[in-house]
Structure 1
Amino acid sequence: MLYLVPTPLGNLKDITLRSLEVLQQVDLILCEDTRTSSKLLTHYHIQKPLSPYHQHNEHKIVAHIVDQLRAGKTMALITDAGTPGISDPAFLLVRECARQEIRVECLPGATAFVPALVNSGLPATRFVFEGFLPLKKGRQTLLKQLADEERTMIFYESPMRLVKTLEQFIEYFGPERQCCVSRELTKLFEENKRGSLQEVCNHFNNKTVKGEIVIVVAGKD
């Protein structure tokens, strides 16, 4: 059996009792970065074998993991933060488990875009999650398509590319389109900056930006 276990975005208290119970019971924990995951597990006095599972090795080791699951092992898949499969590896493994009729269970828990969306002040009844935009190929084509999107849009971005992305949003969506940039969610220096794309871009233009970024943009009126 494979469990998909969400882990805290920052505050280590944001993990469910059931998640801790599962992590204590499984035979093996698959994780994105063993160093990051070790901090969480050490905090909760969980001692289990860790094995790296990330975007650079998932294609190579999926078959081996599935063989172990079929042999009777119980595993948990976690990422550095949030829910596996949301802009993090999980899809390939879950798909193969489904093909092999191996039971998969996803526990509820932290996902960065949910608090960012609800906290943005923008409509949350209908939305589209785009994750990370393509860095080069297809980026402009996608932005042109999204310019006419009427639902609230959610993006992930790195601190280094935040201003550049906001500038492109201004170009394609217009400077007055409303948005909210959330960073360092659940951490000590959490920030949620709301306003027009131009106002938010100006705010971050001369700042050193750190932390994971969620950008929520209003749909077209």
Structure 2
Amino acid sequence: MILLSPLNLLSLALLLSPSTASTLPLLQKRDNCTVSTGKCGCSRASFSDWQWQLTDFDFHSSIIFSTPSHQIDGGWVSFSLKHPAVKGVDFDCEASSTQLQDFFYGGVWYPCEAKASETGGEELGKTKASFMFDRSTGMVNVSQSWVCRDQDPRYPISFKALGGGHLKLSCNETKFQNLDWTPGQTYSSDIVQCALANATIPPSEQSAVA
């Protein structure tokens, strides 16, 4: 049996009450379970001071002129996303854009694809995530929903959370201009490649309902 602090027991009692039908904000004081040990259950970890883990964040873009008047451009972003409360599930998050010049400006949510990790994945169909990215500021926003059933399977708790953080990317830009261009050659190119980056993002909003 997982023991919760009195404050969170009160919170769960309210959430599990049959009369509670609306989404309730989590209490500001959270359970101090050490999520990094991996020994917290889904509900307890969700009430703790958790953070999303972003790994192998990759951004690259290219603007290529095959002729002086024919342009091909694109920007791509991808990374892995993990929530410590949702055991056995990782997300592959990726998106592409052709909106010059920065390609990603925030304001558009891109869905992430859930996949089972080597530890299981029983919650694979019960969690969804999406992200936004602003290239000019490095801002990454994350939205996720998930369900915990470990307290009482009869009364699963549905969580939703939003969060964001600035990612500092180290990027190289390579420009090329073919002064002796002839048809069939590349006229010019502008390639940006950023080093892979890792980050943690805390939630700024979280709610739960049973």
- Structure-1-length-normalised TM-score: 0.21
Rg larger in 1 or in 2?
2
Which structure has the highest helix share of the two?
Answer: 1
- Structure-2-length-normalised TM-score: 0.22
Which structure has the highest strand share of the two?
Answer: 2
